[in-house]
Amino acid sequence: MEQNQERDRELMAVLKQRIKEQLDLSSYTSDEQLKELIEEVLFSVSSEHDWTSRDIKDWVLRLFHSYRGLDVLQPLMEDPAITEIMVNGYKDIFIERQGIITRHPDQFESEEKLEDIIQTIVAKVNRIVNQGTPIVDARLPDGSRVHVVLPPASLSGPSMTIRKFPGKPLQMDDLIRKGSLTHEAAELLQSLVESGYNIFIGGGTGSGKTTFLGALAASIPAEERIITIEDSAEQQIRNIPNLVSLETRNANTEGRGEIPIRDLIRASLRMRPNRIIVGEVRGAEALDMLQAMNTGHDGSLSTGHANSAADMLSRLETMVLSGASLPVEVIRKQISSAIDIMIHLSRIRDSTRKVTEIHEMIGIIDGEIMLNPLFFFKEMGETEDRKVIGQLEYTGNPLVNDHKLQMAGKRMPEWFNQTRRDAICT
């Protein structure tokens, strides 16, 4: 296997050299012209190899991708089953398919080729990455998220992680079919989004926060004006005509021109939004997000990294403290008055993504933020192939603060009311 891969790499180098010798570098070569040239070169050497027509077609695509695509990553990007691509230096590529991470047999021809691909990606979104600024977030035209770390920060050479997103954004029905949450929980959340409840989504890396945020946003009434704020624009909100997407910017080589999330949140307040969607809060911008939610922008959404809903509250406190010298009591009051609903997502041990907690924020008691648990994921065992059996179950607790539902002219779903009546009768 390794001998075949090494032979293919040597052949690739020879073929690229022949193509380079015939390319007219003084004029632009279109994609069709380049493919024709590649085919000519391949046919000229085909007698030296026992190639089928399928082999030739594969080599055409492989060579073309090395010039105009993402080289060895292009077939991986086109495979809808692959959700994540991890490049640990030019020799090591790993992929995630259906929650399972495996090593990809191919590799870049050199570290320089990997660096060229990285520079091509970041240049298309006006980002800069170099030894002076070795870490950058970017995105591909299809919305995939790209995170790059270069030496000296990365000791294994240029590293790149690509988080792919489906061409069609997942809707609540899709998540229900995947078992991420129940129909009842989805119905309640959709009513809360429509009614203008401020919702915060927490979860670990790769738990599906961005995807779930997009599914929730699909319930926002189409007549509203929405501002999205992200490090790299990823949200694919297609049901809102009056939508403005804002994206942060890193400083240039002179240390100027940086546009952080905090500045974008403040700018968005002057753009007459009905709701503000902050893709993810990681630091001091948490205070600006909370203040935006507290100043009439009902129905705003955001996400953050945490291990549980309770842990997310602690992390929010820490984030606010990193940018403002405020008493903890004041910060907790800001959080409890800004956020109505806390949702937690988890990637459980069988690699599936689940909504594991839904809480209502009900205020402060004895100096502590109080949560009203509405749903918890209940595990009920495993299948023979170690798939977790379980589902999100309603706790039976009522929604304490239903005034936004009433103001929106909506009611709690009938199953919710029936469950409450059954609980009272027993």
Tell me the pLDDT tens digit for each residue of 224-252: 999 999 987 778 888 899 999 998 887 77
Same domain, 92 and 212: no
Same domain, 204 and 115: no
Same domain, 145 and 279: no
What would the pLDDT profile of 284-335 be if each residue is shown by its tens digit? 999 999 999 988 899 999 999 999 999 999 999 999 999 888 999 999 999 9
Q: 3-class SS at 70?
A: coil
Given 23, 47, 68, which residue is the final one in a domain? 68
Same domain, 25 and 39: yes
Handedness of CA 303, 309, 313, 314 (dihedral sign): negative
Q: How far is CA 282 from its chain centroid? A: 14
Task: Say how far apart CA 16 and CA 32 lie, in whole Å.
Answer: 17
Given 131, 164, 197, which residue is the final one in a domain? 164
What would the pLDDT profile of 111-145 be if each residue is shown by its tens digit? 998 999 999 899 888 888 888 889 988 888 888 88
Same domain, 193 and 106: no
Residues 189, 305, 283, 321: what is their CA dihedral angle, to the nearest 10 degrees? 90
CB 196 within 8 A of CB 404: yes
Same domain, 132 and 54: no
Given 164, 197, 225, which residue is the final one in a domain? 164
The CATH number of residue 348's host domain is 3.40.50.300
The CATH number of residue 88's host domain is 3.30.450.370
The first and second tokens of residue 96, run together, are 């995630």
Average pLDDT in the chain:
87
Q: Kindly report the pTM of this predicted structure.
A: 0.81
The closest alpha carbon to 126, from 137, 115, 134, 114, belongs to 137
Same domain, 236 and 198: yes
**Domain housing 95:** 70-164
Residue 222's pLDDT band (boundaries 50, 70, 90)?
A: very high
The first and second tokens of residue 58, run together, are 């594969």
Q: Please name the residue that has the structure tokens 């001091």.
A: 284
Same domain, 82 and 103: yes
Same domain, 127 and 204: no
* Number of domains present in the structure of the chain: 3
Q: Is the peptide bond before 152 cis (omega within 30 degrees of 0)?
A: yes
Burial of 111 (0-12, 13-18, 19+ CB in 10 A): middle
* Maximum distance among all Cα pairs of the chain, rounded to whole angstroms: 84
**Rounded alpha-carbon distances, angstroms, from residue 288 to 48, 170, 269, 309, 416:** 66, 29, 10, 20, 34
Same domain, 46 and 144: no
Same domain, 94 and 74: yes
| Least confident stretch, 19-28, 109-118, 147-156, 283-292 | 19-28
Same domain, 128 and 277: no
